[in-house]
Structure 1
Amino acid sequence: EHLQTLPPEVRSDPAKLDQALTAFRERMKHYRNERVYPTLPDWPVVCFYNMSKRRGEKRNWYALPYDERRKLMKGHAAVGREFAGKVKQLITGSTGLDNAEWGVTLFARDTFQIKSIVYKMRFDPVSAEYAEFGEFFIGIQLPLEELFRRLQLDC
């Protein structure tokens, strides 16, 4: 399946093809391992929201052909990769536990990165046309002294 996404000049050159497939396999190995055993960063900002895919009369994610969903998710993932090293995402399954299908947790070093990725993703067709979101919750870990300073408390 991945082979079809490679440019013709890579597919026709055995050395380039081997290099591209090896790199892809390594990425997938890392991806699968991170999905099962995620490495959570020690970053102070955390954001959580739940989401589901839309099942409306006009927009129904699950009524789309698989190849179209795959293409849309590839574009969605490309937007997410723009924030590599700035935002870490953890997706957890929620089906059967509440009304949502997934829980999404985002980690960052500062709130600006969370705001940036959420803002940029809202224009992606997967989010704009096919996603239903719950409330967004955001928190920041601070030393107690810093919390008091920000709240302008004298303690």
Structure 2
Amino acid sequence: MKVLDLACSSAHVFEGWFASEADFLSQRERGLIECPLCGCTQIVKQLSAPRLNLGHGRKPFEPDAAAQSLASGAGAASPNLGTQVGELATAQPKQQQAALLRVLREVLTQTEDVGAQFAQQARQMHEGELEPRAIRGQTTPAQAAELLQDGVPIVPIPDWALRKPTLQ
């Protein structure tokens, strides 16, 4: 089994497992490999170090504290989100991508999709006409700008976060 570090044309880095180099090349030529973040099929192989199993008596690798907290699975609703965001800024690109995906997936699971009614419902909640709840949906840039000007707290979510399901 070959584990390869791959990157798409948008510089998103991810890992792929293949039976052989020929298997990787075949799948890439057929467009079967795509970036888990953006869906791009223009994939290149990055330099990567081989995994060498040199002995059983060695102490296992322990990632540093920042990597451990980023890998802990805590997401958007956790009380230490501010700490995670700070650590995310100093993490390596692979850790940043993984943490961003974890946070976005948690946001998606903890919010209600109201579709095109987002701007209207966000405004009604802000003005007290609707009970506040966590929502997400689509809005035009003009509607989003109006909401922000009126003090309605909104945050854009990348559309690729909604399109790409988790592989596991």
Q: TM-score, normalised to structure 2's length?
A: 0.25
TM-score, normalisation: structure 1: 0.27
Q: Which of the pair is proportionally richer in helix?
A: 1
Q: Which structure has the higher relative contact order (CA within 8 Å, separation 6+)?
A: 1
